[in-house]
């Protein structure tokens, strides 16, 4: 695997972001499918989900990994799907852990503080107009605390064909601070990762549709209202040229307005004009990423590994 690590530069603007000779490191391994990483700056540690094992793990500065939460998603023993646990993890403005809980089909908040975790959750939202959500996947807060999130069917045992699926679409939503849930887009087949731009003017959504793999961008007119949907970057040429080696998934935007987006062969680096600058080859299907302390490290959840690379 290590021999497959490399940083591919497409445009010299990438040199503002990453050194092409930076070492990609394996920090932890032995999981089933890692996802949803979030950096906890107050404690200098990383939290991430292992969805099939229904756990959230903690990785500290000494690279020790411990179980942080179990269960992280659904608590029943007879769940028949393969993705019972949490996916995306976030920290809200009050310092509480928010989890996209696929098996439970809700956006949950851990009741206990980060420093004393307990697998007890309150539901922030679990339905749209009385119909159960599919399986919340990834989310992002804007600067005033409104929560944008995606709701594909991956947590349902039979995915799109699951008989317990109550909604006939896969939504992109905004949960306002008032508690009102607004549907932003019901047309995407597999909405996945999403991110809000640092100035809160744009919403970016990754679509993990092998028939039409792309990232989209919307103007945020006001919290919970978007317009001018456009293709930010079309990834289909990678699939046609290289075959299937991953789809658009999790993404993060640094304060310097560069985007890190997991996709074919690893993590792609874009500027916010939609120009592809570089690609971090991980040698694994790579689901998500997180920026670490002072945004000098990029953490990547890549299949059963946690990887990192230094940034400029």
What does each of the 312 residues of the chain score in pLDDT, given as a tens digit? 666 899 999 999 999 999 999 999 999 999 999 999 999 999 999 999 999 999 999 999 888 999 999 999 988 777 777 788 999 999 999 999 999 999 999 999 999 999 999 999 999 999 999 999 999 999 999 999 999 999 999 999 999 999 999 999 999 999 999 999 999 999 999 999 999 999 999 999 999 999 999 999 999 999 999 999 999 999 999 999 998 899 999 999 999 999 999 999 999 999 999 999 999 999 999 999 999 999 999 999 999 999 999 999
Q: Residues near 253 by Cβ (< 8 Å), separated by ≥ 6?
A: 195, 196, 197, 198, 204, 259, 260, 272
Cis peptide before 71 (omega within 30 of 0): yes
pLDDT computed for residue 119 by the predictor: 97
Estimate to the nearest angstrom the gap between the alpha carbon of 299 and the chain centroid: 12
Task: Say whether 12 sits in a helix, a strand or coil.
Answer: helix
CA atoms within 13 A on the CB side of 120: 6
Task: Say whether 23 sits in a helix, a strand or coil.
Answer: coil
Task: Say whether 72 sits in a helix, a strand or coil.
Answer: coil
pLDDT computed for residue 28 by the predictor: 97
Of 229, 215, 123, residue with least CA distance to 186: 229
Q: What are phi and psi of 12, to 5 degrees?
A: -65, -15
pTM to 2 decimals? 0.96
DSSP state of 26: E
Bridge partner residues of 50 (DSSP): 34, 55
Number of domains in the chain: 1
Residue 264 in any domain: the answer is no
Residue 290 in any domain: the answer is no
CB count within 10 Å of CB 213 equals 23
Segments forming the whole domain that contains residue 173: 32-258
User: Which two tokens mark 234?
Assistant: 């079309």
Residue 23 in any domain: the answer is no
Residue 301 in any domain: the answer is no
pLDDT computed for residue 2 by the predictor: 63
pLDDT computed for residue 1 by the predictor: 60
Residue 155 in any domain: the answer is yes
Answer yes or no: are the C-beta atoms of 142 and 223 closer than 8 Å.
Answer: yes
Residue 233 in any domain: the answer is yes
Q: Residues near 22 by Cβ (< 8 Å), separated by ≥ 6?
A: 7, 309, 310, 311
How far is residue 28's CA from residue 31's CA, in Å, rounded to a whole number? 9
Q: Residues near 153 by Cβ (< 8 Å), separated by ≥ 6?
A: 134, 135, 159, 160, 162, 165, 170, 190
pLDDT computed for residue 62 by the predictor: 86
CA separation (Å) from 279 to 18, 60, 120? 10, 27, 39
CATH, residue 54: 2.120.10.30
pLDDT computed for residue 235 by the predictor: 97
Answer yes or no: are the C-beta atoms of 259 and 270 closer than 8 Å.
Answer: yes
Residue 124 in any domain: the answer is yes
- Return the H-helix or E-strand segment holding 236: helix 236-242
DSSP state of 240: H
Of 130, 164, 169, residue with least CA distance to 152: 169
pLDDT computed for residue 175 by the predictor: 98
First to last CA, the chain: 24
Q: What are phi and psi of 2, to 5 degrees?
A: -60, -35
Q: To 5 degrees, how large is the angle CA 158–CA 266–CA 296?
A: 120
Residue 282 in any domain: the answer is no
How far is residue 137's CA from residue 191's CA, in Å, rounded to a whole number? 9
pLDDT computed for residue 79 by the predictor: 78
105: phi > 0 → left, psi -120 to 50 → alpha, else beta; which?
A: left
């Amino acid at each position: 695997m290590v021999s497959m690590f490399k940083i591919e530069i497409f445009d010299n603007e990438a040199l503002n972001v990453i050194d092409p000779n930076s070492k990609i490191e394996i920090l932890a391994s032995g999981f089933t499918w890692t996802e949803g990483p979030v950096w906890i700056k107050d404690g200098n540690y990383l939290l991430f989900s292992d969805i099939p094992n229904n756990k959230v793990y903690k990785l500290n500065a000494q690279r020790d990994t411990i179980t942080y939460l179990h269960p992280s998603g659904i608590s029943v023993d007879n769940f028949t799907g393969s993705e019972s646990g949490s996916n995306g993890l976030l920290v809200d403005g009050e310092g509480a852990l928010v989890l996209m809980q696929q098996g439970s089909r809700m956006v949950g908040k851990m009741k206990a503080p980060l420093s004393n975790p307990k697998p007890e959750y309150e539901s922030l939202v679990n339905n749209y107009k009385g119909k159960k959500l599919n399986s919340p996947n990834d989310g992002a807060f804007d600067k005033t605390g409104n929560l944008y999130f995606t709701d594909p069917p991956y947590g349902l045992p039979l995915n799109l064909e699951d008989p317990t699926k109550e909604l006939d679409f896969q939504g992109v939503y905004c949960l306002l601070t008032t508690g009102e849930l607004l549907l932003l887009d019901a047309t995407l087949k597999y909405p996945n990762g999403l991110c809000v731009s640092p100035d809160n003017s744009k919403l970016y959504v990754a679509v993990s549709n092998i028939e039409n793999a792309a990232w989209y961008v919307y103007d945020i007119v006001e919290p919970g209202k978007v317009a001018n949907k456009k293709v930010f970057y079309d990834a289909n040429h990678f699939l046609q040229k290289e075959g299937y080696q991953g789809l658009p998934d999790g993404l993060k935007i640094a304060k310097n307005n560069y985007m890190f987006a997991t996709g074919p062969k690893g993590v792609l680096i874009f500027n916010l004009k939609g120009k592809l600058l570089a690609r971090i080859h991980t040698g694994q299907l790579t689901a998500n990423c997180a920026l670490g302390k002072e945004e000098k490290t990029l953490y990547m959840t890549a299949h059963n590994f946690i990887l990192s690379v230094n940034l400029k």
